Amino acid sequence: MARRTQRTTASLSFPVWAWLVFFVFTPLALVVWYSFGYKPDLFTAVSTDQLSFDRYGEVLDGVFMPMFWATLRIALTGTLLCLLVAVPFAYWMAVKVDPRWRPLLLALVLVPFWTNFLVRTIGWQVILAPSGMASDVLNAIGILDGPLDILYTRGAVQLGVVYNYLPLMILPLYVVFERLDPSQREASRDLGAGRWRTFFSVTVPDALPGIASGCLLVFIPLMGDYLTASVLGGARGTMVGQIVARQFTSAQNWALGAAMAVTLMAFVLLTVLIVAALFLLVRAVVRRARHLDLGVSP
């Protein structure tokens, strides 16, 4: 009977395995394969008759690295800003709002997703233009004196990415906050902790898986984003994704583009691992500080 179940499980997971192989592993393998190739002439995009690591050398020597650091800054700031905005909002939605209204609020959070990514980013371009609505409003209420100068700067890109990726942070946070046991919060209050103490000592540690998924869901695609920067960033707000994309459009150097893509993936993975390690370190330190030695032998 057990054997039958094993085979059944293997067969049932066929669609998932097929999807993974055809749409994830095979294309990835292709990209890695191309990254060892070269651009033989002006017209042909890539050739793999001679394999080498030269493209990687080009990547690390060229404009890629400074662009990567700039992008990393935007991505980390963007993730943090998303977190700061999403946590109170998701908490309010999951805990304070009447359960009847929650599905409606969730739908409203998702409404921007019904519009194409590019279209809503262009919408921001119109709003942030020097002669646009934002400029008019800010001048009218007196914060700004003169046309708004934020378009085609890093600031505009930062705003755009937070706007575009915020729902991806709100949703996992909402899910995890909603699942929290309200009596734990009550217990914390009961034991003398104020609202903020309760939030940081009880709610946040329980919500860590949600916070982690939200951050990953935002940070990783953000590192590769090039649309937001293309539309809002101008020269100063370039992100590394644009350089990678350019190799596949105007420069037509697929080998270099593939090498850039692989390098980007590796660096993003490395960043995530470093942050995870830092987090575990901090947690270990906090645990050590909180540890109670009762002197009781087990």
Partner 1 sequence: MSRRRAPDPVRVLAPRAEAGRISRRALLGGFAVIGTASLLGCGSRSIASTASTDGALEGRLNVYSWGDYENPDNIRAFREDNDVTVQVDSFASNEEMIAKIGASRGTSGYDVLVPSGQFVPMMVANDLLSKLDHSLIPNLANLEPAFTAQPWDPGNVHTVPKSWGTTGFAYDQTLIDGRPTSWQDFLDLAAGQASGSVSLLDDAWEVASIYFGAKGIDPNTTDPADLDAAEAYLTEQLAPHVRNFNSAPTQSVIQNEMALLQMYNGDARLAFSESDDADRWRFVYPTPTANLWVDTWALARGAQHVDSAHAFIDFMLDPEVAIGEVDWNGYPTGVAGQRALAEEWELDMLDLIFPPEKVVARLTPAELTDAQDRLTSILEQVQAKAG
Partner 2 sequence: MTTTTVSLRGISKAYGTVTAVDGLDLDIAEGEFLSLLGPSGCGKTTLLRMIGGFEEPDAGELLLSGESVVGVPPNRRAVNTVFQAYALFPHMTVAQNVAYGLRQRRQGQPRPSRAELAERVREALALVRMSEYADRRPKKLSGGQQQRVALARAIVNRPDVLLLDEPLSALDRNLREQMQVELKLIQRQVGITFVFVTHDQAEALSMSDRIVVMNAGHIEQVGTPQEVYGSPATAFVAGFIGTQNFADGIVKDRVVVADEVTYAPELSALDGLEDGRTVRVAVRAEAVTVVAEPLPVGTANTAVGTLAGTAFLGDVVQHVVLCEDGREILARTAAAGAQPLATGALVGVTWAPESVHVYPADAS
Q: Does 298 bind partner 2 (CB under 8 A)?
A: yes
Q: How far apart are CA 261 and CA 31, in angstroms?
A: 8
Nearest approach, Cβ of residue 221 and partner 1 (Å): 22
Report CA-CA distances (Å) from 40 to 36, 45, 170. Answer: 13, 8, 47
- Position among 90, 109, 151, 162 found at the interface with partner 1 (CB under 8 A): 151
Handedness of CA 123, 124, 128, 130 (dihedral sign): negative
Residue 231 site contact among partner 1, partner 2, none (CB < 5 to 8 Å, cut-off depends on kind): none
Residue 11 site contact among partner 1, partner 2, none (CB < 5 to 8 Å, cut-off depends on kind): partner 1
Q: How far apart are CA 177 and CA 213, in angstroms?
A: 13
112: number of Cβ within 10 Å: 14
Q: Does 183 bind partner 2 (CB under 8 A)?
A: yes
- Under rule CB under 8 A, which residues in 86-145 are in contact with partner 1? 125-126, 129-132
Structure tokens that stand for 267 in this block = 């660096």
Q: How far apart are CA 298 and CA 284, in angstroms?
A: 22
Q: Does 62 bind partner 1 (CB under 8 A)?
A: yes
Nearest approach, Cβ of residue 103 and partner 2 (Å): 21
Nearest approach, Cβ of residue 149 and partner 1 (Å): 9
Residue 206 site contact among partner 2, partner 1, none (CB < 5 to 8 Å, cut-off depends on kind): partner 2
Contact (CB, 8 A) for 5 and 13: no
Residues lying near partner 2 in the complex (CB under 8 A) = 181, 183-184, 186-194, 197, 201-202, 205-206, 290-296, 298
